[in-house]
Chains A and B, each alone.
Chain A
Amino acid sequence: MIDPANALESPARYRWLLAAFTRREVMNRYAGSVSGLAWTLLHPLAQLAIFAFVFSQVFRAGVPAEFASVNYTSFVAVALWPWIMFSEALSRGSSAVTANAGLIRKVAFPHRLLVYSTVLAGYCVHLVGFLVVLVVLRAMGEGIHLSTIPVALVLLLPYLAFATGLAAFLAALQALMRDVEHGIGIALTIGFYATPILYPASILPEGVRAWVQASPPAYFSQRMREVLIQGSGFAVGDLVAAAICLAVFFLGLWFFNRLAPHFEDFV
């Protein structure tokens, strides 16, 4: 005798369901549009073009000496894509439960798969865009290290875990309180400018810098530049960051699983 609420927990079914959900998420984004997934690349590219023009041409922002082997566009691009993965995981992941209310009311399945698949889909889609951009920049003569891309990929994993944990927390919270939906956009805009993406961490005032750099998005933003522009390998700090990210992941999941049996009561 088993509890029917756990019926889909066997690994084979679980993986297959996650794959099916993720595929649906990827296709959902641009289903019905003619150029489909091309938009997932065009959208960040347009953002990059705007930032590159406004900051390097209008505000005359420069690249700090330690990253002088690339121009401002590459300097921003290397940190922009990881941020987009993160912010999309939060904005879409936080409504993973409420957006699938129909499913939750009618079908028994592990609800956390909704968060996983939403976050995974965003990461997969933008990872492809990221790799394409890195290769293109390199081909244009920018000093991007292609050989350290595997290091960057490994560093994206704890970042993914961090994003998943936060998204799970927000998704569960939003099932009970719709306020999350409204707050998340504002929080992400603040987060974008507070994170060293358009500027190097070194120009922050001394007192603020330590606080900013303690946040995983800022840490990984900085590390992406060191790895992909300077060609450095892993650092001891990466282990600490990974531990923090995993802790956030499990905390977020704990919160989610606590509330998951009650989603059906609220959505």
Chain B
Amino acid sequence: MSAARGDVLVRLQGIGKDYPKVASGGDRLRTLAALLARRNDGPRFQALDGIDLEVRRGESLGLVGENGAGKSTLLKVIAGIVRPSRGTVGIDGRIGALIELGSGFHPEYTGRENIDLASALAGLSRRETRGKVDEIIAFADIGSHIDEPIKHYSSGMVVRLGFAVATALRPDILITDEILAVGDESFQKKCIAWLERYLSDGGTLLLCSHSMFHIQTLCSKALWIHHGQARMQGDRFDVTREYLAYHEEKTRTERVARVVAPDGRVPRIAELWTERADGTRADVFAKGETLVVQGLAFEPDDQAPVVLVGLVRIDGTPVFGALTNEDGFVPARIEPTRFGFALRFEGLPLLPGRYRARGHVLDAQGLRLFDTVEREFTVTGQTRDFGLVELPHAWSAGRGSDA
């Protein structure tokens, strides 16, 4: 990846894709004639329409949308598998598409023989493939099975080999379609570790997922596709929140529409900040000082929401989190639809380092998580202790032996 961060890698302009509807033999003949004459008529179904998109190097984009909204079709357009009916696609860089791992494999060949064709399909030349065979075999880590026909592999082993080929490609743009949950536990960890390194090295990821968690952790931006059109595009948290709001609206049949807040229809954290014991806002705290996480939650139905407030290390490792309903606290109604809360940590035991205060708002039952807001803060101090927090501890001489 030689080019600079921020270059446009993917540019879509007015992308549309129609699929012909062919029900009868006559339809097929008519479609054939239309295709040969390059006419756009006949019965058709519009899978995508008017999609504009730009993805820059180092950015990651998550696609959200209902089943059949056109997410996969859009990924296939970017990967070059589907030719759009309208609009232009421009790609700058090498694409790695993990649309279905192992789709180029032949069951009768050994794993080693299959690496050739799979890497040729992935866009590697003969020389590049030769140089990477060992790396691929090492990553797949399937031992002596590599010299057995693929048909004797478990489905997990096929996927491991497929992922290994894809990683060897070192793509500038990686396109995946909900495939992160593959293989056994340890291989999944390996995939996630690879992906995180890929992203921190400035890789660009296009991910299509129904997991808002995946979108929020792996992507910086999100695009919501609705009935083949871009409904919303922008910051990951904004888009996922609006997307969840849409689902909330869709499933809420029994409730009568109430006063709808202008800025959204789902509970969310309206504000979140960190402050000292005296109430001054701050983002640097000495170890042992008092930290207060203050916030304001928005609940459109004017019912006290459940709030989860926690502390995480800067890399995302959770340190501690507390739920209001577990602790028997009800956020206080400050004004209609707005509820205040504050969580106080006295004698902050966090070891020096960078952390984030994280606030979530859940529905009244505490089951569905709607929003995530984070504020970064630093803990200062001098200590040579290890880990995240200082636990109460005491040294002694010990007994010397087990007896």
Contacts and interface: CB of A to CB of B under 8 A. Distances in A.
A206 interface: no
B120 A13 contact: yes
Interface residues of B, number: 43
Given A1-B11, A107-B103, A258-B36, A7 B91 contact: yes
A234 B29 CA distance: 43
B55 to A, nearest CB: 12
Interface stretch (A131-139, A196-204, A237-245, A259-267): A259-267
A3 to B, nearest CB: 6
A20 B116 contact: yes
A103 B22 contact: no
B83 A262 contact: yes
Contacts of B82: 264
A105 B73 CA distance: 11
A32 B108 contact: yes
B31 interface: yes
Contacts of A109: 121
B78 interface: yes
A105 B82 CA distance: 8
B125 A108 contact: no
Contacts of A266: 22
Nearest to B22: A266
B317 to A, nearest CB: 37
Contact of A106 (B31, B89, B99, B109): B99
Interface residues of A, number: 40
B113 to A, nearest CB: 8
Given A2-B90, A106-B99, A266-B22, A7 B35 contact: no
Interface in A213-267: 255, 258-259, 261-262, 264-266
A266 to B, nearest CB: 7
A16 B121 contact: no
A4 B108 contact: no
A26 to B, nearest CB: 12
Contact of A2 (B25, B91, B108, B123): B91
Contact of A107 (B35, B97, B126): B97
A264 B79 CA distance: 13
Given A2-B92, A4-B89, A177 B32 contact: yes
B80 A176 contact: no
A20 B95 contact: no
Interface in A99-119: 102-109
A104 B100 CA distance: 12
Interface in A127-184: 173, 176-177
Nearest to A179: B25
Contact of B28 (A28, A105, A176): A176
Contacts of A27: 106, 108-109
Contacts of B109: 24, 27, 31
A20 B90 contact: no
A266 B34 CA distance: 14
Given A28-B108, A32-B108, A108-B79, A3 B90 contact: yes
Contacts of B319: none
B79 A20 contact: no
7 contacts: A4-B91, A8-B123, A31-B108, A103-B104, A104-B81, A107-B97, A177-B28
Interface of B: 11, 19-20, 22, 25, 28-29, 31-32, 35-36, 38, 76, 78-83, 88-92, 94-95, 97, 99-100, 103-104, 106, 108-109, 116-117, 120-121, 123-126, 129
Given A16-B126, A265-B19, 11 more contacts: A16-B120, A16-B129, A20-B117, A20-B120, A27-B109, A31-B109, A106-B99, A107-B103, A176-B28, A258-B36, A262-B20
Interface of A: 1-8, 12-13, 16-17, 19-21, 23-24, 27-28, 31-32, 102-109, 173, 176-177, 255, 258-259, 261-262, 264-266
